[in-house]
Structure 1
């Protein structure tokens, strides 16, 4: 098959989901091109390598873009937003090509103030045009042929689950240290709960815990913290694989509900001791292979850190996490199912339109 992938922003971490789907396409031997609106450089962690060479930033009215869509067997839009789904939908209709929508985050739900009725009401008055546009995108997304990254989004949009996937790199560093290290790898945004993590680590300095974070150091950086800035994809994986504990302390925020950080898959595959906030879909992903804590609770997280201070406990939890990840989050586990999903989308379009 030949796939034209539309991604919303070549410069942001949303490109990580596109990379996951590209891994599945590569495993199936398909020819791919990734298209995004014009912008800056490709997102730092994914610069270089085969994936980056497949990415192009082009204007929607570029004749080469329509030609690429006409030559594709399937058009795939990553995220139900205007810069990917909107563009892909218009071009797929013009070229009479099948379109498959991927929903990996609650982007429209957050834009429409999901779970926040008062804010939603205020937006409907103060930002009427934006709300109307996003409401229309939501309507179109609910009608589209769709895949989703987790069960929370499946309950909204339907479609089969295609979670974030990774190539298996094996078990990470052995759990031997009596002074465990923690890694937070990802984009440091408000809902990610990094402030909660930092305070919990400070409260458990009796354990000699150290913390590495992929962001620039703030003015109040602590002696036991190492701020490494933005890393490459491989450097981020190395940080995860060499950490004793990986914590994803997301707050009970509207955007966190329905979001599945890909670094959780990396940590589980590497056999790390994993601690996550008790928020779906992270609890679904972890299963019995990690600890869950009350969101935004410093005391709960500090207590959980104490539970995984022992190397033996971390080894046991890591083995359970890895077994679950091998079954749920590898390219190999989803390659065949993903092929069937894409082929089914092409077949349904052909049957509905009488085209080949």
Structure 2
């Protein structure tokens, strides 16, 4: 009989659910999986709305004091032999701790972001405001507290050396199904026709557009290049439509926003990209992050330009180009170089895919996760 793992997600409604979704997809190769959690929005985040063979047990999210009544309901939903809490937050790890104490079930914690770091770049007044937000179940006061309670976990997994040094544990990167993400399976010409005019060079960003992702730097770089045959395509959406409007305002005719797509469609869209950019800025919220979309681009053998932030340089290791975060001039030079040297761009993409298969495939993830869950 297979071991059953309960994956606890703090919020199934946002893009942060992507990590739980990925881990569920890999773990279900070896174990029975159920996903338990809250939705603080309009249902499950569409790109991850279902996994065949995995049960979703969902509770509507709410603020305190109403959320107190949700504790017992969530605890009763957990029927696994092992608990895997995603993020050190009250509505995932906090619930996991309560079940761990009451039922003595093994508890594993996954940390893919430094949650407190998201607040450190706020203005002083905004930080004070967030520090006094006691009605949000995952607000800063509780977030800070839960990061102090990671010792309750029997095992910890994480995504970067920064987070490993801070919290301990084993690094489990955002691996990729390299059999599905295989450029040979997709018609890049067909994908290009769907996205851009004929003969247009596509610089692509895949992911939720947010200020710390450095998308403005790409727009400024294209302004420097001033090439009419190059456009910036953003695949993904931000609930803050004001930020998307800001990008359209400064990008003008150089940018196209395609909105949210299903995870299954990602490789098709990526096949259209002449270059994939991952221009992370160096901020407290990015210092421990490893963008999951980096591995999407690597698996699809796309030429990649990214920043020297977190462990991105070590992951690429010769399979892409790097620039200093925020330096649009460097970025412009690299874009021009790769567009002018297609053979070199293709070579870098091939190296990236080889590295992804060797180090960041689902097979590799499964082996590393089995080393944790088989002994619990």
**Aligned: 1:92 with 2:100:** yes
Q: What is the alpha-carbon distance in structure 1 between the residues aligned to residue 367 and residue 231 of structure 2?
A: 41
The offset of 1:284, in angstroms, is 2.3
Q: Which runs of 5+ in 2 are unaligned?
A: 61-68, 190-197
How many positions carry a matched residue from both structures? 339
1:298 is matched with 328
The offset of 1:237, in angstroms, is 3.0
- TM-score normalised according to structure 1 size: 0.86
Q: Which moved more, 1:237-246 or 1:135-144?
A: 135-144
The offset of 1:137, in angstroms, is 1.1
1:354 is matched with none
Q: What is the alpha-carbon distance in structure 2 between the residues aligned to residue 175 and residue 33 of structure 1?
A: 36
Q: What is the alpha-carbon distance in structure 2 between the residues aligned to residue 76 and residue 301 of structure 1?
A: 39
2:8 is matched with 6
CA offsets, 1:165-217, max 9 Å, x none?
A: 12112126699998531111111111011111112123223372222113476
Q: Confirm or deny: 8 A CA contact 2:176 2:361 kept in the other structure.
A: yes
Q: Confirm or deny: 8 A CA contact 1:4 1:68 kept in the other structure.
A: no
Q: What is the alpha-carbon distance in structure 2 between the residues aligned to residue 122 and residue 12 of structure 1?
A: 22
Q: What is the alpha-carbon distance in structure 2 between the residues aligned to residue 227 and residue 128 of structure 1?
A: 33
Q: Which runs of 5+ in 1 are unaligned?
A: 347-356
Q: What is the alpha-carbon distance in structure 2 between the residues aligned to residue 317 and residue 261 of structure 1?
A: 19
1:353 is matched with none
Q: What is the alpha-carbon distance in structure 1 between the residues aligned to residue 91 and residue 18 of structure 2?
A: 16
Aligned-CA RMSD value = 2.9
1:35 is matched with 36
Q: Confirm or deny: 8 A CA contact 1:269 1:325 kept in the other structure.
A: yes
Q: Confirm or deny: 8 A CA contact 2:187 2:271 kept in the other structure.
A: no
1:153 is matched with 163
Change (3 A) 1:122 1:335: closer
Q: Confirm or deny: 8 A CA contact 1:175 1:311 kept in the other structure.
A: no
**Aligned: 1:190 with 2:178:** no
1:105 is matched with 113
SS in 2 for 1:222: helix
Q: What is the alpha-carbon distance in structure 2 between the residues aligned to residue 223 and residue 6 of structure 1?
A: 42
The offset of 1:227, in angstroms, is 1.5
SS in 2 for 1:338: helix
Q: Which moved more, 1:214-223 or 1:198-207?
A: 214-223
Q: What is the alpha-carbon distance in structure 2 between the residues aligned to residue 44 and residue 243 of structure 1?
A: 23
Change (3 A) 1:197 1:73: same
The offset of 1:271, in angstroms, is 0.3
